[in-house]
Amino acid sequence: MTIADPTSIAGKTFPLRGAFAHVVVGAGEAGIAAARRSAAAGEATLLVDEHPLDPGLIGLDIPYLFGTRAGSAVQNPARMEERVAAARPDLLAAMEEGVEVALGVAAWGGFVKGQSSRALPKPLLGLADGAAAWLVAFDRLTIATGARDVVLPFEGWTLPGVMGARGFDAALRLYAAFAGRRIAVLGGGALADGVVAAARHAGLDVAAHIKEAVPLRILGREEVTGIAWQSGATWPEAACDTVVMAVDTVPVVDLADVLGCAIAWDPARGGFAPVLDAAGRSSHAVVQVVGDAAGTAPMARARWHEVALASEEALVCACEEVSCGDLRALRPPRYLDAAGPDAGLSALGVLNQDQVKRLTRAGMGACQGRRCREAVHALLSRDGPAPLASHRVPLRPLPLCVLAALEEDAVLRADWTGWFGIAAQWLPHWEPAPVDAEYIGGRLSPEDVVK
């Protein structure tokens, strides 16, 4: 009988704040409906939604492109929670039917058994609010995380006042905190038409609606003051304080991806979308995906990306300041002041977005790549779609102190070592390793292990 390596994960536990038959992430229409169904069937059901968002995340354009056009009202969490509940009347019904509802709670991670992760007795979901992170166990998970905005890196897109259709909708209807007056809308489909209609309904001016993909510039110094676009040989301009990019959205597949659910390129469903069976189940039997997270409208951004990415100067990744030209040249980040390989991107052979990310830093910033993911992918997909760039835990940026507040197993802490815990590894390798029976064992107690 051997004793499992105490410095390994064997025997460690992960304290929970609850265990549910069914957890639903995302309290939109599809998520609320899924939660109500299981509660009606008598299942212990938890429904979490990250709205109202921490104002810091709104500033980072997470999960939508908010473009700092949400007013100061979003700084008041209590008021915002009332707003969210008011905007989604079915939430109240769900609560009355026994669904445990947690607003302002983000799902930042999912952990299931797999070939390299067998320590978990049950599937776990990582949750967090502004104060702490915690874990809950689930038997069944429904992902109803919706869609997010596709950003087109036209000149001026980082100016305050440039937002996405989902960001606009959240600011206007969910938070009732939209701070613009006069908007220009990009996009020729139902998404853009919806933005125009919602804007008019709210009494906003629609200064321009650009339906076809054309070269354009967003104007302004401190913030958006207008937009200019190419029309034949001329460049008309319209004054506005907000530009809404309503060309396209993509399913939010981050949680499905970290759980290991199969995800495939499917332009008919908006781009990368989870592989689902007829019942909406993912490749993980216990994970179901519903609503826009399962697939959005057919992809409508290809031509727009082509136009926006035609400029070498187009700033694709704002967090890490990577331009279209930097990507094509595979240029190391600016702080290194070095050239890329002579062949540029071709030096890599088959293109992989994660590899390009690590070399150029495009997508490596604080917004976790949400603003540039699709543009970089488009740029790398000239010879067919590049593979999905991985999503990493935590799926929302979490302050160290919030993640650190997750309750920790005392044994895990007591047995902590910096790196394995193999005695002979840290003794001079030019001398023979200890040969006592334990050497194979020469394991030191954690207190003696140095690294």
Give the separation between CA 252 and CA 418, rounded to whole angstroms.
35
- 70 bridge partner residues: 178
- What six digits make up the tokens of 196? 């125009």
- Under rule CB under 8 A, residue 406 binds another protein: yes
Among 82, 86, 118, 302, binds another protein (CB under 8 A): 118
Among 194, 333, 344, 385, binds another protein (CB under 8 A): 333
- Under rule CB under 8 A, residue 20 binds another protein: no
Among 341, 344, 381, 385, binds another protein (CB under 8 A): 341
- Under rule CB under 8 A, residue 231 binds another protein: no
Running DSSP on this structure, what letter comes out for residue 267?
A: G
- Under rule CB under 8 A, residue 433 binds another protein: yes
- What six digits make up the tokens of 38? 């299981």
Among 92, 201, 313, 419, binds another protein (CB under 8 A): 419
- Under rule CB under 8 A, residue 415 binds another protein: yes
- What six digits make up the tokens of 303? 């031509």
Q: How far is the CB of 351 from another protein (least distance, A)?
A: 10
The smaller minimum CB distance to another protein, of residues 69 and 443, is found at 443
Give the separation between CA 360 and CA 339, rounded to whole angstroms.
11
The smaller minimum CB distance to another protein, of residues 197 and 350, is found at 350
Inter-residue contact 300 to 247 (CB < 8 Å): yes
Inter-residue contact 276 to 294 (CB < 8 Å): yes
Burial class (CB within 10 angstroms; exposed 0-12, middle 13-18, buried 19+) of 412 = middle
- Under rule CB under 8 A, residue 66 binds another protein: no
Number of other CB atoms surrounding residue 292 within 10 Å: 25
Among 40, 119, 190, 202, binds another protein (CB under 8 A): 119
Inter-residue contact 176 to 83 (CB < 8 Å): yes
- Under rule CB under 8 A, residue 114 binds another protein: yes
- Under rule CB under 8 A, residue 260 binds another protein: yes
Q: Which of left, alpha, beta for 24 (phi over 0: left; psi -120 to 50: alpha)? A: beta
- Under rule CB under 8 A, residue 286 binds another protein: no
- Under rule CB under 8 A, residue 365 binds another protein: yes
Among 116, 145, 211, 214, binds another protein (CB under 8 A): 116
- Under rule CB under 8 A, residue 352 binds another protein: yes
Q: How far is the CB of 447 from another protein (least distance, A)?
A: 6
